[in-house]
Amino acid sequence: MRVGIPRSLLYYKYLPFWKTFLAELGLEVETSPLTNKKILSWGVEVAENELCVPVKAFYGHCMALRGRVDALFVPRVVSVEEREYTCPKFLGLPDMVAAVADQLELPPLLTPKLNQREKPSEFKWQLINFARDQFGLSRWDAIAALEAARVAQKRYQEELVRGRKPLDLLPASRLNRPRWKTPKSERKRIGLLGHPYNIYDGYITQNLIARLEEMGAELVVPEMTDHHVLMEAATDVPKQLYWTYEKEIMGAVNHWTRQKMVDGVIYVLAFACGPDSLVQVLIEHRARTHNVPLMSLTIDEHSGEAGLVTRIEAFTDMLMRKKRTAEAVA
């Protein structure tokens, strides 16, 4: 049986885990191609128009897998940390896709529920039960698959901490390389903040990473910092955030400003992203009080290339000028 994993949303976070797990269960795994114009416009056409652009792209990726696979893997990722949630849209994702499945002739969906809100490591049992109910596998086979998946995911995260980007590590994709390099003395450290499914999706954010590197940015991303450090840094808010991925973003900006790791921050957020719209206020406040320039970059399916380039150019120029002034004063 061939199982398709849409190359969107949590793909960028958990692909090694999911892929290894499904492969160890004896399934063939196929992923959809990189986001392109056709995929995004398919998604925009079927999705409810108030949804954020990555969810719209998700629909398109599901459609791109039609006819190539026997089932689609769309897990319901409710929670990945104790007493926290992911995002409401991940909670409802399988139902949202199921609502259009007949109309779009999508393959059947595999939707295991992963929820460790009540109990840590609960997801292991959920996956073991999933393997038993769907494929009739024994508990031991499932545990072996889980272990292999855990190792694969761990190796992936270690590579990320070492500074490699998800796109270099994930199959059949390569990060767009900058076409030229800026001398080291001219570079400025820019923190790139945002959800992996936005900043690493070269189509949605229009090769933002390569463009920034061409403009002489040395990028710092949240994935470079150990998860526990981020979570610890994120506690520096009046009330604990209950969205894990926003907590990572908040933790990253707290960590960077505390350790003086960046000269400036670019915060990429999708239009109509619910959690980000609130956390934005706290992040901007944090940057302001620590005197770190921050630019919020809102993206959606209509974002134009020229507008984006102009804004990041202005921002990097401003950082450069700030750096030169500081050096002149010193």
Partner 1 sequence: MKVSVPHMGHLHWMMDDLFERLEVEYVKPPPSTTKTLTIGAKHSPEFACLPLKINVGNYIEALETGADTLVMAGGHGPCRFGYYGIVEQRILLDLGYEFNFLMLEPFSDGALAFYKTFKSLSPGLTIPKLYRILKISFSKGRAFDYLYKRSLQVRAYEVNRGDTSRAIREAEQILTLARTPDEIEEAAREALAVVDAVEQDPDREVLKVCVVGEFFLLLEPFSNFGLEEILGHMDVYLERSVWVTDWIAPKRDNKVYGFPKKFVEEKAAPYLNHNVGGEGRETIGGIVLAAERGFDGIIQLLPFGCMPENIATSIIPKVQRDHDIPVLTLAFDEQTGRAGMVTRIEAFLDLLEARRKTGKTGTYVSYVSQKPSAAV
Part of the chain binding partner 1 (CB under 8 A), chosen from 43-51, 61-69, 119-127, 183-191: 43-51
Q: Cβ-count burial of 186 within 10 angstroms (0-12 exposed, 13-18 middle, 19+ buried)?
A: exposed
- Residue 90 has a CB neighbour count (10 Å cut-off) of 21
Residue 118 touching partner 1 (CB under 8 A):
no
Most distant CA pair in the chain: distance in Å? Answer: 70
Cα(275)–Cα(214) distance, integer angstroms: 31
145 interacts with partner 1 by CB under 8 A: no
Distance between CA 313 and CA 154 in Å, rounded? 36
**Could you tell me if 171 and 31 are in contact, meaning their C-beta atoms sit under 8 angstroms apart?**
yes
Near partner 1 by CB under 8 A: residue from 23, 91, 148, 309? 91
Alpha-carbon distance values, 13 to 58, 291, 311 (Å):
15, 31, 28
The per-residue DSSP string of 136-158 comes to ---HHHHHHHHHHHHHHHHHHHH
Q: How many residues bind partner 1 (CB under 8 A)?
A: 40
The yes or no reply on residue 197 touching partner 1 (CB under 8 A) is: no
**Which of 179, 228, 239, 302 touches partner 1 (CB under 8 A)?**
239
In the set 99, 151, 161, 314, which binds partner 1 (CB under 8 A)?
A: 99
- 42 versus 156: smaller Cβ distance to partner 1: 42
Smallest gap from Cβ 88 to partner 1, in A, equals: 4
Q: Smaller CB distance to partner 1: residue 129 or 298?
A: 298
- Residue in 66, 70, 113, 236 binding partner 1, rule: CB under 8 A: 113
Q: Which is nearer to partner 1, 178 or 274 (CB)?
A: 274
Site string for partner 1, 258-297 (x = CB under 8 A): -------------xxxxx-xx-xxx--x------------
| 8 part of the interface to partner 1, by CB under 8 A | no
Q: How far is CA 296 from CA 53, 179, 282, 302, in A?
A: 16, 25, 12, 17
Q: Is 5 exposed, middle or buried (0-12, 13-18, 19+ CB in 10 A)?
A: buried
Nearer to partner 1, 56 or 255 (CB): 56
Residue 239 CB, nearest distance to partner 1 (Å)?
5
Sign of the dihedral through C-alpha 257, 259, 263, 266: negative
Q: Can you tell me which residue has the tokens 């990722």?
A: 77
Task: Give the nearer residue to partner 1 in terms of CB position, either 55 or 190.
Answer: 55
Is residue 314 within the footprint of partner 1 (CB under 8 A)?
no
Applying CB under 8 A, which part among 9-17, 20-28, 80-88, 320-328 lies near partner 1? 80-88
CA dihedral 240, 241, 247, 252 (to 10 degrees): -50
Query: In residues, how long is the chain?
Result: 330
Provide the binding-site residues for partner 1, judged by CB under 8 A.
Answer: 47-48, 50-51, 76, 78, 83-89, 91-92, 95-96, 98-100, 102, 113, 237-239, 241-243, 271-275, 277-278, 280-282, 285, 298
